[in-house]
Amino acid sequence: MPETNESETEWGSAAVDTVLEGVSSYGMQVVGAILILLAGFYASKVISRLVDRMCGKTEKIDPVIRGILVKVTKVLVLGFTLYATLSAFGVETTGLVALIGAAGLTVGLALQGTLTNVAAGVMMMMLRPFSVGEIIVVGGNFYVVDELGLFITRAHVPDGPYVIIPNSQIWGSVITNLSRTHNDIRRVNETFGISYSDDIDKAISVVKGIIASDERFLSDPEPMVAVGNLNDSSVDLLVHAWTKRPDWWATKLDFNKKIKQEFAKAGVSIPFPQRDVHLYGEGREAGG
């Protein structure tokens, strides 16, 4: 019996030692993993705030891009934290990374159109071809921009209807920004037809007089009035005159009205398309 008790005591002691070694080993891994998690969460907050402050120091970064950068930074730090935590537990992460990569590829293919809109939205936010409130022309259509988002751009057409445009359709087209001009000036381009029987120099003098009398037209660059084309029914006068950008639309409308009024006073006609038709009777043709 004493031998048996001694044997059992040795077995029990060995088992306790094994348990203690296991607890000690895994306990350190658990403590290390917890410390990694705490450090990762703290680092994600600190680094994301740092990115937010850096983006806030410049006006070149759109607020939407700023928010995206902050979120992406936080997610990346947390992802690295998770990877480090699993490694601390001895988990094989190679297969997990491959699985995440395959899942990402599948999602990317499924959301290809959406990702294209996102990429276009990011490029527009970075390069800023237009801003909220500006008038743009895309695909031959006029839009007033209401909001630039990551996926879509919200706008309305000049006569009121609300429009939602996918960003990829805007970025893939020629964008004309009517609210931005070189040196904050814009040119009034008009063509006026006069009759072949009218005095060309007199008509040009009338147009120049209208331009000179309107202080909204600029003298530099110098206005130009010249014969632009000889059409079938009219002699076309080409007019280029510059205004300040805010005055362009109102000046253009008033200019067209004054042209009609002053041409009428000066006896200069604005012809409409016409044809001369010659009719011959059968008897006349037969008699020569």
pLDDT attached to residue 200:
94
Mean pLDDT of 52-78: 76
Give the integer Cα–Cα distance in Å for 160 and 192: 31
- CB neighbour class for 63 (10 Å; exposed up to 12, middle 13-18, buried from 19): exposed
- CB neighbour class for 78 (10 Å; exposed up to 12, middle 13-18, buried from 19): middle
On the question of pLDDT at 13 being above 60, the answer is: no
Structural domains in the chain, CATH included, are 2-110 (1.10.287.1260), 130-177 (2.30.30.60), 182-266 (3.30.70.100)
- CB neighbour class for 259 (10 Å; exposed up to 12, middle 13-18, buried from 19): buried
Residue with tokens 């994600």: 44
On the question of pLDDT at 205 being above 80, the answer is: yes
pTM: 0.52
Q: What is the CB neighbour count within 10 angstroms for residue 211?
A: 21
Q: Torsion angle, CA of 28/33/34/38, rounded to 10 degrees?
A: 140
On the question of pLDDT at 76 being above 90, the answer is: no
pLDDT in tens, 142-162: 999 998 888 889 999 988 899
For residue 265, name the pLDDT band (cuts at 50, 70, 90).
very high
